[in-house]
Amino acid sequence: MRIVSTWSFGLAANEAAWPHLVAGKALDAVEAACIYAEMAPDIDSVGFGGLPDSSGRVSLDGCVMLSPSCCGGVAGVRTHLHPVSVARRVMERTPHLLLVGQDADDFADREGFARAELLAPGAREAFERWRVEGGVIDQSRDGASRSLPADEARWRHHDTIGCLALDARGTLAGACSTSGTPYKIPGRVGDSPIIGQGLYVEPAVGAATATGTGELIAGICGAFLVVESMRRGATPLEAVRDAVLRVAASYRLEPQHQAVFLALSKDGTFAHAALRPGYRTSVMDLAGPRAVEADFIALPEAPTESGAHAR
Ligand code: SD4
């Protein structure tokens, strides 16, 4: 029995999920973890508190997965707080896999989800500052205001939650929720709501999720790649390490780029690899809660820039 979530803020999300895991409900567990993150205003790339796009409007993406035949996602949701819950309805109540934009919000309305304002006051202020300062995202400065380890605070705008769980009955489930990259071009969708990119679960093998710069993760079909490597015999650590190295080999990397892969095998073994330092996975199991540094870092040297970058 184990739940793993991206970043240190996942510790509290895991706690919210734990009772469901004990009850043998892995899907409820990963949904509960994401709901927790979506409601926390200090997590600034998920749900309420998420930074808006370049038009000043927040849009949310999310997905859930039990197996290739049992998964769902939504992208570009603007008026509902819990994309993961809407994604679960897509999975459970439609013959489809992915709904997007206004039509996804309309679907959520029909399913009875309450509408919500997604732009938190702090996110609005950050957006106004970003506009005035000419599009510079100073992650190091912003991060100093939060109670995160300094190396992790550098990546504070990468707060996407990806969550994998193995429950008391041995069922695997995964979920992913994000507001995407800060100040993105309206309409942009990253890896997080796309099955095979930000999340993949193959019950006979294991599960994988990702966080970081979606364009890097999506281009290599990251989560699928990790699970498929495991299906072909790689250990979870070999699988996540190879995926990160594949990212490093496939793109011209910039200082603000990060990519992390997290895997949980069907026997409960987990492994995680990051492109750059400053990433932790939140783990909860019978040994208790803990935040663990990545097993493998592709570019361990500190980047030369503080993390400030222009878009
Ligand atoms: C995205 N992968 O939309 C997400 C962002 C993220 O940690 O994971 N940040 O590209």
246-290, pLDDT tens digit by residue?
A: 999 999 999 889 999 999 999 999 999 999 999 999 999 999 999
Give CA–CA dist 168/77, Å, rounded: 33
**Hey, what are 80's tokens?**
């509902």
Active site residue 160: yes
pLDDT at 143: 45
Query: Is position 308 within any domain?
Result: no
Residue located via tokens 């489930």: 173
What residues form DSSP beta bridges with 163? 5, 175
Q: What is the model's pTM?
A: 0.93
| Residue-wise pLDDT tens digits, 139-198 | 544 444 455 677 776 676 667 899 999 999 999 999 999 999 999 999 999 999 999 999
CATH number at residue 106: 3.60.20.30
Of the residues 6, 79, 94, 160, only one is catalytic, namely 160
* Residue 134 within a domain: yes
Nearest alpha-carbon partner for 66 in 214, 177, 165, 185:
165
pLDDT of 102-126, one tens digit each?
999 999 999 999 999 999 999 999 9
Pocket test for ligand 1, best of 38, 59, 192, 254 (most atoms within 8 A of CB): 192
Would 191 be classed as within a structural domain? yes
Residue 246 placed within a domain: yes
Range of the domain at 43: 2-297
In a domain, 274, yes or no: yes
Q: How many helices (H) and strands (E) does the chain have?
A: 10, 15
For residue 176, how far is its CA from the centre of ligand 1 (angstroms)?
A: 10
Question: Which residue has a Cα nearest atom 3 of ligand 1?
Answer: 180
Quick check: is 143 in a domain?
yes
Q: Who contacts 107 (Cβ-Cβ below 8 Å, separation ≥6)?
A: 74, 86, 89, 90, 94, 99
Q: What is the pLDDT of residues 216-253, one digit of tens each?
A: 999 999 999 999 999 999 999 999 999 999 999 999 99
Q: How far is the CA of 308 from the centre of ligand 1 (A)?
A: 17
Q: CB within 8 A of 94, min separation 6: which ones?
A: 72, 107
**Residue pointed to by tokens 């409007």:** 57
- Domain assignment present for residue 311? The answer is no
Structural domain total, the chain: 1
Q: Which residue's CA is the closest to the ligand 1 atom numbered 5?
A: 180
Q: What is the mean pLDDT of the chain?
A: 91
281 lies in a domain? yes
> Could you tell me which residues are beta bridge partners of residue 174?
65, 164
